[in-house]
Amino acid sequence: MTTRNLPIYQIDAFSDVLFAGNPAAVVPLSTWLPDDVLQKIAMENNLSETAFFVPITAGNADFHIRWFTPTVEVPLCGHATLASAYVIFNQLGFEGDIVRLQSKSGILTARRYLDAIVLDFPKQPIVPETLADDVIAALGGDTPVETFGVASRDTDLVAVYDDAAIVRSMTPDMSLLAKLADRGVIVTAPGDKTGLDMISRYFVPAIGINEDPVTGYMHCVIAPYWADKLGQDDVVGYQASARGGVVACKVIGDRVHLTGEAVLYLKGEITVPA
């Protein structure tokens, strides 16, 4: 079998130290590989997301970006976009301070800001939706004070609790949750420490990720909710996974700016069919 080597990076996103935040694999490409090969690379990496991008020489973007979990392609991913921007800025010699990324969710931008990167993402509106009793039971049985569905992803659910301790200590039945929720369940509560406006976690066993460590997309869902509740545009979230991570958010109309740092963990090569 003829093979070729490709560069690969693993970045800890939404963290300023190693072994925290959310790890993402980033594979820069000159041209697209077949979709089944992209999916197999993501499965082999076995991280919550692997990002691939190719350069664009014309139009209103610099790169075309796509994201894959170990089992499916997804339309939007924050931490793997942050990781990709980090690679573009710090490993590939990109000279500008803003990189434009064409995606299934439209044009996304990433901007250098001191030691961090600011992502400009689309707001993800929510609509009231009743959670089935068996989904609440699979989450642990505590009754949420409000429940929603994500309008753009009709299989994502949101459960709002009045106590951050419920969210922090939650131990869902992942095998059951995978059967009951086609995609993911976001749980959130008010912040419980100085400087934190919201606490959250994101469970997605249905697509091969029991719990995503730190999720940019999810903050495009909950930041507008908490900004409205608190009457302020700027909100800071802590995703209370085992690795944990802080995401600073600013809601501007139908966009959400997500600010986070990233660090390089791994740089190497992978071998794929030619």
Catalytic (active-site) positions: 49
Return the residue matching tokens 């909100």: 235
Bridge partners of residue 205, in order along the sequence: none
Which of these, 82, 69, 72, lies nearest to 108 by C-alpha position?
82
For residue 139, what is the enclosing H or E element?
helix 133-139
d(CA 60, CA 217): 23
Largest CA distance in the chain: 60
* Torsion sign across C-alpha atoms 204, 208, 213, 214: negative
d(CA 263, CA 166): 31
**DSSP tag of 155:** E
What's the gap between Cα 227 and its chain centre? Answer: 19
> Are 160 and 147 in contact, with CB atoms under 8 Å apart?
yes
Number of Cα atoms under 13 Å in the Cβ half of residue 137: 7
d(CA 38, CA 48): 14
